[in-house]
């Protein structure tokens, strides 16, 4: 596949950060780790990877702004462009020696995601997409799965944990979905969950409590692979609502319907 100069910049940044993460993954027991909140960890590896991505992207496009998991919002002179970066999605996996984690980079132009890269260095899997140009895994064109019924589908999800989410409501959602599908999976890295939907490995995905940096690149991958994304209210308001539902057209619609069944009272 032919990549634009802009996408090449993103790929270079993601892979350089990924190499740093791979080195730290081999020495994970020696990393400095701190707690941002209940069940929410940040490591020295997160900060190193974010520094690499920030430096690489700033050098290539010095005027662009940033939204980054660890550094937050950084305003740029060019208010039309913003990088959305998660330097290590799946930190808990990473810290437990589970090789399911990724660097995620998206470019937002005038409020629209126009390019995305997700890189899992442990498996050397590079997912890329540009708006209107398709989605790819290591240069192989991606298409979402073609399954038409929930009963044939494997659906991924993110599970609330200590201090995060409405556990009672989630358990009802899980009960409703698991009663209609062939299987449910939980990777622990939303960026890769979305990339797997784009690759047809998962038929659908839902999660609440996410941030823009968890979703931005994966949303574009799914759309460019022929899939659909929305928030749980069927609107394109994922960043504000912090929720996402994804799949091909039929699975997306069916999953939304299942998730809208009555929940537990708050």
Alpha helices in 179-230 (DSSP H): 190-198, 212-224
139: annotated binding-site residue? no
24: annotated binding-site residue? no
What is the number of helices (H) and of strands (E) in the chain? 8, 15
Q: What is the DSSP letter of 165?
A: S
Sign of the C-alpha dihedral computed for residues 254, 256, 259 and 261 taken in this order? negative
Residue pair 202/185 in contact by the 8 Å Cβ criterion: yes
152: annotated binding-site residue? no
69: annotated binding-site residue? yes
User: 31 falls in which pLDDT band (50, 70, 90)?
Assistant: low
* Residue 138 to residue 144: CA distance in whole angstroms: 16
Q: Domains (ranges, CATH) in the chain?
A: 5-141 (3.30.540.10), 150-259 (3.40.190.80)
231: annotated binding-site residue? no
pLDDT, tens only, 112-131: 999 999 999 999 999 999 99
Which is more confidently placed, 41 or 142?
142
Instruction: Please enumerate in sequence order all residues whose Cβ is within 8 A of that of 42, keeping only pairs 6 or more positions apart, or say none.
Output: 33, 34, 35, 36, 70, 91
pLDDT, tens only, 152-188: 999 999 998 776 667 878 999 999 999 999 999 999 9
pLDDT, tens only, 20-30: 999 888 786 66
């Amino acid at each position: 596949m032919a990549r634009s100069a802009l996408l090449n910049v993103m790929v270079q940044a993601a892979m350089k950060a990924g190499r740093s993460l791979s080195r730290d993954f081999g020495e994970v027991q020696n990393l400095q780790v701190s707690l941002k909140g209940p069940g929410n960890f940040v490591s020295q590896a997160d900060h190193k990877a974010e520094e690499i991505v920030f430096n690489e992207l700033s050098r290539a496009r010095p005027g662009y702004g940033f939204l980054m998991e660890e550094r937050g919002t950084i305003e740029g002179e060019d208010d039309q462009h913003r990088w959305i970066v998660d330097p290590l999605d799946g930190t808990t996996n990473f810290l437990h020696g589970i090789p399911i984690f990724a660097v995620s980079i998206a470019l937002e132009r005038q409020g629209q995601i126009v390019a995305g890269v997700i890189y899992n260095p442990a498996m050397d899997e590079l997912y890329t997409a540009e708006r209107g140009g398709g989605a790819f895994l290591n240069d192989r064109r991606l298409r979402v799965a073609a399954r038409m019924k929930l009963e044939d589908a494997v659906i991924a999800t993110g599970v609330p944990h200590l201090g995060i989410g409405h556990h009672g409501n989630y358990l009802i959602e899980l009960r409703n979905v698991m009663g209609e599908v062939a299987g449910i999976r939980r990777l622990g890295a939303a960026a890769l969950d979305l990339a797997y939907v784009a690759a047809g490995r998962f038929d659908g995905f839902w999660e609440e409590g996410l941030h823009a940096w968890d979703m931005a690149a994966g949303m574009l991958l799914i759309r460019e692979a022929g899939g659909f994304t929305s928030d749980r209210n069927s609107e394109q308001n994922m960043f504000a609502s912090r929720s996402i539902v994804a799949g091909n057209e039929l699975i997306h619609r069916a999953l939304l319907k299942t998730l809208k069944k009555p929940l537990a009272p708050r």
